[in-house]
Amino acid sequence: MSDEVSAEILTTHILDLAAEGKRLDGRGPDEYRPITVEPGFVTTADGSALVRIGNTAVLSGIKLEPGKPFADTPNAGVLTTNAELIPLSNAIFEPGPPQPGAIEVSRVVDRAIRAAETIDLTRLCVTPGEKTWVCYVDIHCLDHSGNLIDAALMAAVSALCHATVPAKRFEIAEADYPLAVNHVPIECTFVRLGDAIVVDPTFDEERAAQGRITVATDEVGRVVAMQKGLVGAFSPDDVKDVVRRAFRHGERHRLLAKGGTP
Amino acid sequence: MYASVLGLLSERPPIVQVIPLSGRYIPKPNDTVIGTVTDVQGTFWLLDIGAPRWAPLHMTGTPWQIDVGETERFLRVGDAVVVQIESLEATGRIGVTMNGEGLGKLEGGTIVQVSPARIPRVVGRNGSMIDTIRRLTGAEVVVGQNGRVWIGGTPDAIHRVSEVLRIIEENAQHSGLTERVESYLRSTTPTGLKGPEEPLQEHAHRDAPPRVLTSAEPDEDAVDAEDESPEPSEPSEH
Amino acid sequence: MGSVGAKEVPVLLSPEGLRIDGRKLDELRPIRIQVGALHNADGSAFVEWGANKVMAAVYGPREVHPRHLQQNNKAVIQCKYNMAAFAVDERKRPGLDRRSQEISKVIGEAFESVVFAEEYPRTSIDIYIEVLQANAGTRCAGLVAASMALADAGIPMVDLLPAVAVGKIAGKIALDLKKEEDNFGDADLPMALVPQSGRLVLLQMEGHMTEEELSQALDLGVQGCRAIYEKMKQALRERYATGPIGGSA
């Protein structure tokens, strides 16, 4: 509707529906929109994946380049995550330096990848103290219709799962080899709409939300990252409930990230 | 130059213009539109009506007696209103008014956005489609030419109308749309609603707060101002 | 293992007159255009051109921000061309760079020549071009995508803008260079045509060409543009035959 301002009526309606366990698009409180994952979307990247959740579309590309390790971690590779929330994807984004929303998405995705030890950074090391692989995770939002975080992390991990280390091209080894992925974190984002806590918010639901919480889980039963966002509050019981739900969704989405969708 | 595809490509060279399936609403005089207040100033409000520019609504264009600086008391950012396009100036300024029957502030219910290009199908020839929708759902519906549709009534009625709008949006260019809509509505008629013969206007108000604030009591049957045909004096059987 | 430094120069043109991908000198790479690829934008298009993947979106006409940029008698047309970090072989640092700024400017000016901006005074029409995967000719692919996105948004124009780059490989004028040809070729000449008038609204050149070669290149480019124009019209027909946007459909 309005790019800038949400109609109060719509917000009220979303909250009224939520009070009855219903949502604008007819989903249940614990239902995701349809998800598609296309690994290998961009061949100039060393790994890539395009993820759609409903009308939200996020593309991630991995680039691996030789570089210098950080002085305080001479045996470790370098991982860096950057998310671009570009004006192309939604009227609310302005061109220019990253806004707080983009920075938050970058950091929440990065936190999950790192905490889950998705890739073993020591295996990226070529010569301790001198040469290591730098792994760039670039996330490009193409269409923002809500829940960028879940789509962004899924795109990033799917891209990592399908990435090749360009060892031959950079003359570090005889042949390229697949990037070793040890853990596959998945994030699930929930928003509070009145007393209801619903998963996978659409853009309108995010605007109506009174708090947002993201939980990242891995395949060995660990919670690896959490982030509460927007203005609102969650009780400890709320948090336990969403964690339980996040594990369940995580199992399914992990398969999609690793295998892609037909 | 172009084959006429659904009449969408302009036949007048040298201009290329496709009537978009998505995209902005282009205002026409006398259109009734639904807007959202995006800014409040001392003597006017700015409305987002989904057009290339925001439309200023001056305080004198309302039925209310407002002192300068008091505008916020009447309409705030986020409020939704039904207004009519009065003038389109060469500068691009879109003049609107809230003085008139069926115009005013909207309360309760919800607003659904469809492509402006679909609105003629939402209304139907001589209002046939919108009449069918109202009749078979008991909902109050205000159709804005800018693609915004306000729906009031029971949550169930609101849901069914929203579904119909979605069906129209996705199938407008296919034949048999009217049949598809009617078949959906008849197959989902909730219990308690007897059918087309029952006067449904009373049901519409049961659970919804007052719909529209105007200077006079809104005429029971004047639920929309966008009909091309004369207002029916009572719910009609088509 | 190859030697560090110098890359092998590939054979760009075989004795039979075939290029490294088997094309003849006047052949275009395969082009696929999807109009209405995005949900949020007012108009959008996704173009796959050879190994290029380019997304374009149009927002507007809409209110101008900041207000002081608005023009009293027409819409302000702003174009922003950008490459994703992973779009090229060597990762590109995100953020504005001078090449992107220049391309944004020339593409914006091309559209200013054909869009009926006077229809929408005091508004802005914002064109965003994102190169997701690059393989030479991205500004032309971007222009074509943006042209389709403008049409998708219902913005009136004199005409669609087909665009293509002509180059010189192994001494011969060639249409639509791909990456390797561009890297080792002798000239690059991107252009955009208004088919209605036969005039060019984008024209740049870099390299060496004789007057004769330039004349040949211009003719070949116009020929290429006309072929691309047909594909663009076809894509619009397909879009409106199949209906509204539905995800990637």
Q: Is residue C149 part of a domain?
A: yes
pLDDT at B231 over 60: no
Task: Give the mean pLDDT of chain A.
Answer: 93
Q: Is residue C23 part of a domain?
A: no
Contacts of B53 in chain C (CB under 8 A): 61-63, 120, 122-123
pLDDT at A247 over 70: yes
Query: Which CATH superfamily groups domain B108-208?
Result: K Homology domain, type 1 (3.30.1370.10)
pLDDT at B58 over 90: yes
Domain coverage including residue C98: 31-238
Dihedrals phi, psi of A98, to nearest 5 degrees:
-60, 135
C41 to chain A, minimum CA–CA distance in Å? 7
The CATH number of whichever domain residue C43 belongs to comes to 3.30.230.70
Q: Is residue C191 part of a domain?
A: yes
The pLDDT score that the predictor gives to residue C186 is 86
pTM here is 0.86
The pLDDT score that the predictor gives to residue B171 is 84
Residue type, A150: D
The pLDDT score that the predictor gives to residue C6 is 52
Check if CATH label 3.40.50.720 holds for domain A8-259.
no
Tell me the residue length of chain B.
Answer: 238
Across A96-100, A151-155, B135-139, C95-99, which has the greatest mean pLDDT?
Answer: A151-155
Span B158-205, pLDDT tens digits: 999 999 999 998 887 778 888 889 889 988 876 544 444 434 333 333
Locate C84 and state its tokens: 């994703």
Q: Model confidence at A3, in pLDDT bands (50, 70, 90)?
A: low
Cα B198 from Cα A24, distance rounded (Å): 28
Q: Is residue C90 part of a domain?
A: yes
C137 to chain A, minimum CA–CA distance in Å? 15
From residue A247, give the alpha-carbon distance in Å to each of A34, A51, A240, A243, B83. Answer: 18, 20, 11, 6, 49
Q: Model confidence at C185, in pLDDT bands (50, 70, 90)?
A: confident
Query: Which CATH superfamily groups domain B32-105?
Result: Nucleic acid-binding proteins (2.40.50.140)
Question: Can you tell me the ipTM of this complex?
Answer: 0.89
Task: Give the residue with greater pLDDT, C63 vs C240.
Answer: C63
Q: In what order do the strands lie in the sheet with A186-193?
A: A196-199, A186-193, A212-217, A223-229
CA B146 from chain center: how many Å? 7
Q: Closest to A1 (Cβ–Cβ): which among B107, B111, B158? A: B111
Residue B49: name the closest of B82, B98, B91 by CA: B82
Contacts of C125 (CB under 8 A, 6+ apart): C58, C59, C60, C61, C62, C75, C76, C77, C78, C115, C117, C150, C155
HSE-CB for A212 with a 13 A CA cutoff: 24
Residue carrying structure tokens 């049957």: B221
Span A140-185, pLDDT tens digits: 999 999 999 999 999 999 999 999 999 999 999 999 999 999 999 9
The pLDDT score that the predictor gives to residue B197 is 44
Residue type, B208: A
The pLDDT score that the predictor gives to residue A261 is 85
Contacts of A51 (CB under 8 A, 6+ apart): A35, A36, A37, A38, A57, A58, A59, A60, A151, A152, A154, A155, A158, A257
Instruction: Reduce the DSSP state of residue C152 to 3 states and report it.
Output: helix
- With beta carbons less than 8 A apart as the criterion, state whether B124 and B130 touch: yes
Characterize C142-172 residue by residue with b for buried, 16 or more Cβ atoms within 10 angstroms of its Cβ, and e for exposed. bbbbbbbbbbbbbbbbbbbbbbbbbbbbbeb
Under an 8 A CB cutoff, do A138 and C4 touch? no
Residue ranges per domain, chain B?
32-105, 108-208
Contacts of C130 (CB under 8 A, 6+ apart): A86, A88, A140, A142, C54, C55, C56, C57, C82, C83, C84
Which residues on chain C place their C-beta less than 8 Å from a C-beta of chain A?
1, 4, 38-41, 51, 53, 55-57, 59, 62, 65, 80, 82, 84-91, 94-95, 126, 128, 130, 132-135, 247-248
Q: Is residue C11 part of a domain?
A: no
Span C44-93, pLDDT tens digits: 999 999 999 999 999 989 999 888 889 999 999 999 999 999 999 999 99
pLDDT at C5 over 70: no
Q: Is residue C1 part of a domain?
A: no
Under an 8 A CB cutoff, do A52 and C248 touch? yes
From residue B110, give the alpha-carbon distance in Å to each of A8, B15, B80, B148, B152. Answer: 9, 38, 10, 10, 7
Neighbour subunits, C (≥3 Cβ pairs < 8 A): A, B
Q: Closest to A1 (Cβ–Cβ): which among B79, B113, B158? A: B113
How big is the CA angle at C22 (ends C48 and C32), to the nearest 5 degrees? 15
pLDDT at B223 over 80: no
Cα A182 from Cα B217, distance rounded (Å): 68
Q: Model confidence at C120, in pLDDT bands (50, 70, 90)?
A: very high
Under an 8 A CB cutoff, do C87 and A42 touch? yes
Under an 8 A CB cutoff, do A10 and B111 touch? yes
By C-alpha distance, the chain B residue nearest C196 is: B14
Span B106-140, pLDDT tens digits: 999 999 999 898 999 999 999 999 999 999 999 99
Under an 8 A CB cutoff, do A61 and C247 touch? no
Q: Model confidence at B18, in pLDDT bands (50, 70, 90)?
A: low
Residue ranges per domain, chain A?
8-259
From residue A115, give the alpha-carbon distance in Å to each of A120, B128, C74. Answer: 11, 60, 52
Residue A155: name the closest of A246, A62, A226 by CA: A62
Mean pLDDT, to the nearest integer, of B87-110?
A: 94
Mean pLDDT, to the nearest integer, of A38-52?
A: 97
